[in-house]
Amino acid sequence: MYDVVISGAGPAGSRCAETLARAGFKVALLEKDSNWRKPCGGAVSSSIFKYYPQLKKLDLLPITGIKMYSGDYHSIEYSWKGIKHYSINVDRLEFDNFIRNLAIDAGAELFDKTLSNDFIRKEGKFVGIIARTESGIKEFHGRLLIIADGMSSKLAVKSGLREKWKPEELGLAKCALMEGKNNLPKDSIQVFFRSYKGYGWIFPLSEERFNIGCGTFAEDNFKYNLHVIFEEFIKSPHIKKYFPAKNYKTLWSGSYPLPGMGVKEKSLFSDNIMIIGDAAGFVSPISGEGIHPSIVSGQISAETAIMALENDEINKQMLKKYKTHVKIKKIIANFKIKRSMVDFFYQNGGKNLSKMFQIAEVDDDFREKVINMFLFNQAPSKEFLLKIQE
């Protein structure tokens, strides 16, 4: 019997488990495979250091700039060096195990090779999780259950809080960790918006190691073959200029779906259940950033759980504080803005996006507004949108 059973030990689940364990609660953290590397670009904003200052001690490249390209390769470059703290790029296998170990050190009990399959039900209420382990089926009982096992979570659907994702609600992406001498700026990330709904990226991890990938989302998932566009992307002359050598070693590659339409805000909680991270849609539309929003959802769900457990009020009224927390509301609002911009940006084969970048190349005030929109979540004005359509 545990105070809290958490299914999934990625960024959201691990942060939640650590916070609860540090508060003195008995936590079971179920993870299907701690040796699995989630396919992901791995870029993380400087906000991560609020939650994990320990990361500053690791040998990670400080990222202080970005260069973004439209589908026809107009570009915008921006550096925040000396303005705000640096960002980082991470290898998801190393990063996930790092923060998972912090949860274990705090007192959470990790059950690895444990795949959550269903709920334990008693008198119409969910009282635990049934999981498949290497030694057979096991039951984990808890006063509070937290679903953090990714966008393909069986439990999220079986909870009745949300349905399966529709294909058009998803993004599809493929990426690879590669190694070799290159011309990449080591303090900057490169983002390539496409003419279709999607984008590509190149993120440096060390002097010779980098993450490269691309993907589609919404209805363009049906129009493009992910493996074909990945090969086209990495072989493009605009990409190959960064890679003068003939051969590059592929250390790992993978493809994956991800939520593409923002947080499922009506599906975040029930009487003694909360859904966090990718399972709840904490992935930014357009950019696909999910690590930091997921960690925030893990932190706030844990704080809500602590209040519920300490007051012995594990019910909808108390758990609603998770959804209505100012940080969660801010994420939801930001995602809605980005989601509303998707169709506009990619209209007529990315015409509006290209026009926006063209104007930004010659108009400093307009460029600043583009930077504020993409990097600092500022909503575009009506005048801004009309200028693109002129």
- 293 close to 43: Cβ distance less than 8 angstroms: no
User: Which residues are paired to 27 by β-bridges?
Assistant: 4
- Across 91-95, 167-171, 308-312, least confident range: 167-171
* Calpha distance 168→1 (Å, rounded): 40
Mean pLDDT of 20-46: 96
List the structure tokens of 275.
Answer: 């859904």
| Residue 280 DSSP code | G
Of 390 and 204, the one with more pLDDT: 204
Q: Which of 102-111, 254-263, 277-286, 376-385 has the highest mean pLDDT?
A: 102-111
Mean pLDDT of 112-124: 96
The reported pLDDT for the residue numbered 11 is: 98
Percent of the chain's residues with pLDDT above 70: 100
* Residue 274 pLDDT greater than 80, yes or no: yes
The reported pLDDT for the residue numbered 4 is: 98
User: Which residues are paired to 91 by β-bridges?
Assistant: none
- 203 close to 352: Cβ distance less than 8 angstroms: no
> What DSSP letter does each residue of 72-100 carry, written as one string?
T--EEEEE-TTTS--BEE--HHHHHHHHH
* Residue 145 pLDDT greater than 90, yes or no: yes
Of the options 3.40.50.2000, 3.50.50.60, 1.10.1370.30, 3.40.190.290, the CATH number for the domain spanning 2-39+91-163+261-338? 3.50.50.60
Nearest Cα to 11, choosing from 220, 348, 244, 297? Answer: 297
* Calpha distance 290→67 (Å, rounded): 20
Tell how strand 75-79 and strand 65-69 pair up: antiparallel
- 370 close to 341: Cβ distance less than 8 angstroms: no
The reported pLDDT for the residue numbered 116 is: 97
Burial class (CB in 10 A: 0-12, 13-18, 19+), 55: middle
* Calpha distance 347→329 (Å, rounded): 29
* Calpha distance 111→5 (Å, rounded): 11
Helices of type H across 23-66 = 48-51
The reported pLDDT for the residue numbered 311 is: 97
* Calpha distance 203→198 (Å, rounded): 17
The reported pLDDT for the residue numbered 185 is: 96
Q: How confident is the model at residue 349 (pLDDT cuts 50, 70, 90)?
A: confident
Average pLDDT of the chain is 95
* Residue 102 pLDDT greater than 90, yes or no: yes
Burial class (CB in 10 A: 0-12, 13-18, 19+), 153: buried
pLDDT, tens digit, for every residue of 314-325?
999 999 999 999
Q: How confident is the model at residue 30 (pLDDT cuts 50, 70, 90)?
A: very high
The reported pLDDT for the residue numbered 305 is: 98
| Ramachandran sector of residue 167 (left: φ over 0; alpha: ψ -120 to 50; beta: rest) | alpha
The reported pLDDT for the residue numbered 124 is: 87
pLDDT, tens digit, for every residue of 295-346?
999 999 999 999 999 999 999 999 999 999 999 999 999 999 888 888 888 8
Count CB neighbours of 317 within 10 A.
9
Strands (E), 156-307: 170-179, 188-193, 198-204, 209-217, 249-259, 273-275
Q: How confident is the model at residue 347 (pLDDT cuts 50, 70, 90)?
A: confident
- 142 close to 119: Cβ distance less than 8 angstroms: no
pLDDT, tens digit, for every residue of 42-62?
999 999 999 999 999 999 999
Q: How confident is the model at residue 173 (pLDDT cuts 50, 70, 90)?
A: very high
The reported pLDDT for the residue numbered 380 is: 86
Strands (E), the chain: 2-7, 27-30, 43-44, 65-69, 75-79, 88-89, 109-111, 115-122, 125-133, 136-147, 170-179, 188-193, 198-204, 209-217, 249-259, 273-275
Matching residue, tokens 């990945």: 230
Of the options 3.20.20.140, 3.40.50.1100, 3.40.50.1980, 3.30.9.100, the CATH number for the domain spanning 44-89+168-259? 3.30.9.100
Q: How confident is the model at residue 219 (pLDDT cuts 50, 70, 90)?
A: very high
Break the chain into its structural domains and give their ranges.
2-39+91-163+261-338, 44-89+168-259
Percent of the chain's residues with pLDDT above 90: 89
* Calpha distance 73→233 (Å, rounded): 13
Taking the model in full, what pTM does it have?
Answer: 0.95
Burial class (CB in 10 A: 0-12, 13-18, 19+), 179: middle
- Cα–Cα–Cα angle for 329, 269, 256, nearest 5°? 80
